Amino acid sequence: MQGGIKINFISNLIIPLIVVITIFYGYRKKVEVYDSFIVGVKKSFGMIENLFPTLVAMIFAINVFTNSGILDLIFKVLSPVISVFKIPIEVLPIALIRPISSSASLAYLNNLFEKFGPDSFLGLLGSVMQGCTDTTFYVISLYFGCVGIKKIRYSLFAGLMADLIGMVASILVIKAIFAS
């Protein structure tokens, strides 16, 4: 328990320490740190103005997709296919939701933890699946929308293929670990 307190103490000091070091470094280089900070904040409003519509549209699309019942229909259609490959149906929500929303897939992962435990096959599989994939739609809509890129076809394909490979690899690795 004593080690946990030390780690917690150190982690609480990291950001204030970075701020103090930055201020000290700026002072040594004769930079007006506060004025530079204010200029940076003012410049960020333009970025936020460009980013906000994309972010709202993405959040709206995620909510429509997750609350519309389409996801349940996809689960019903994919269940027989998934069972042929002996993939646990319980991780299907994580596999389908992760490219869209990190928080929603974490909620499903938390449900797996509560039902089966974090050290169970399904808990480990969900954890590795969460770590091996990314929120592809979020990344593309946020970052590409911020800089005004409209042609996303190849990036979307590459991102979704990377997610698929991560999901398949996580299944194979966790099955291999539990088989031994």
Q: Note down the domain range covering 165.
A: 46-179
Q: Does residue 33 fall inside a structural domain?
A: no
Q: Is residue 26 part of a domain?
A: no
| 18, part of any domain | no
pLDDT of 129 reads 94
Q: Is the residue at 55 inside a domain?
A: yes
Q: Is the pTM of this model over 0.75?
A: no
Q: Classify residue 17: in a domain, yes or no.
A: no
Task: Assess if residue 170 is contained within a domain.
Answer: yes
Does residue 54 register a pLDDT over 80? Answer: no
Tell whether 35 is covered by a domain: no
- Per-residue model confidence as pLDDT tens digits over 57-100: 777 877 787 788 887 788 888 888 888 888 888 898 898 889 98
Number of folded domains in the chain?
A: 1
Say what the alpha-carbon torsion angle 97, 99, 103, 104 is, to the nearest 10 degrees.
Answer: -10
pLDDT per position as a tens digit, 16-40: 999 999 999 999 999 999 999 999 8
Q: How far, in Å, CA of 31 to CA of 22, rounded?
A: 11
Q: For residue 10, tell me if it sits in a domain.
A: no
Report the alpha-carbon distance of residue 121 to residue 90 in Å, rounded. Answer: 11
